[in-house]
Amino acid sequence: ETTEYGTDYSVASLSDAGAGNLYDETVYALVGTSPCLAVRTFIHSTNLANYDPGTITAFDEGALTAQFDAIRKTLIVGQ
């Protein structure tokens, strides 16, 4: 669990791969909500090792995750 800006979340994440694809998913479920409210991020990318060197460029995962975090922090749940 984590608390951000006064909001309590139960957090789970997983990573998987298959056929040259990479999958990263994180779910932030708001503690105590019924029905359950959650923010899910999902990144589907490709394995760079499957390409000739220099033919593609890796994306900036840190920047993408920072954008997802910024979006999640705008969530307002009514009282």
The domain limits of the chain are 2-72
Instruction: Of 50, 51, 43, give the one whose Cα is nearest residue 68.
Output: 43
Each residue's pLDDT tens digit, 12-63: 999 999 999 999 999 999 999 999 999 999 999 999 999 999 999 999 999 9
Residue 63 three-state SS: helix
Confidence of residue 79 (pLDDT cuts 50, 70, 90): low
59 C-beta neighbours (distance < 10 Å), count = 12
Cα distances (angstroms) measured from residue 37 to each of 30, 47, 70, 78: 6, 32, 18, 12
Confidence of residue 76 (pLDDT cuts 50, 70, 90): confident
